[in-house]
Chains A and B, each alone.
Chain A
Amino acid sequence: MSSRKPVLLLLLWLLATPALAEDLLMARIPMTFPEAMLKLQNVLKQHGQTLSRVQRVDIGLTAKGYKTDKYRVVFFGRLEEIREVADKYPMLIPYVPHKIAIFAEEDETLIVAANPERLFPEKDPALQRFVRQWKKDLEAIFHDMREE
């Protein structure tokens, strides 16, 4: 058995345990930025998410004369979710499509997303269900991004 296997099993167990109330979801990807970016695109696809566009923050900053490393914001979601938000939960409109910020830190890459449950600690059960599912989707994406 490889030495990584127990760690992977524990990671799976951690994913199955009740979620912790972290304000931000963050993960360090031990890959260069282009590799991590490609992986994120694939992981989003595997999770049934549509990548709607990528904001190239670094390109905009560099064009204006500022120094920066690779920095992008990835927008993604599912059409039915976006329509559900527009129809039932308009307070969420500024937060869809969902976003993940992805930026280089030397040879590694960080990804960050806001924890929707912390933004919308709602009492309305339907909205709570929606937000919980949104968070679960993000956690699953982050989990797969951490996997080697």
Chain B
Amino acid sequence: MKLSAKALAVIIAVVLLGGIVLSNTLGWWNTSGGQGGSRGGSGQGQLQNIDNPAAGESHSEEQAAFDGSIRGKTTFQDLLEWGVPLENIETILGSPLPERSLQVSAYCQQQGLSFGRLKRSLQEEVDKIQR
């Protein structure tokens, strides 16, 4: 049985895209969160559970999806629960800690700060803990 390039192209597209649609329907297509961070599998996930054993159950999906990176929806509460000391956050901010449930990106918007710069500084603190 011979296969032409066009037929192969169609098969590749159908298998990959169709597979994604099918797995999405079956609930297997999870692109954020997943076991790595949310279920305390390794690395920071373990750290989170040590610091606050009950944290994994009470958090929002985004909080539970921690994979070592500060994102747009990361809150100051997340940073504290990941183990970043309060004093270090305040030193980086240059002011007292705002409302803990406030997202870091929203804080930047309020204060007219660059999220990218603040994110880098806070990320360094998170990375120190991971090490």
> Are A and B a genuine interacting pair, yes or no?
no
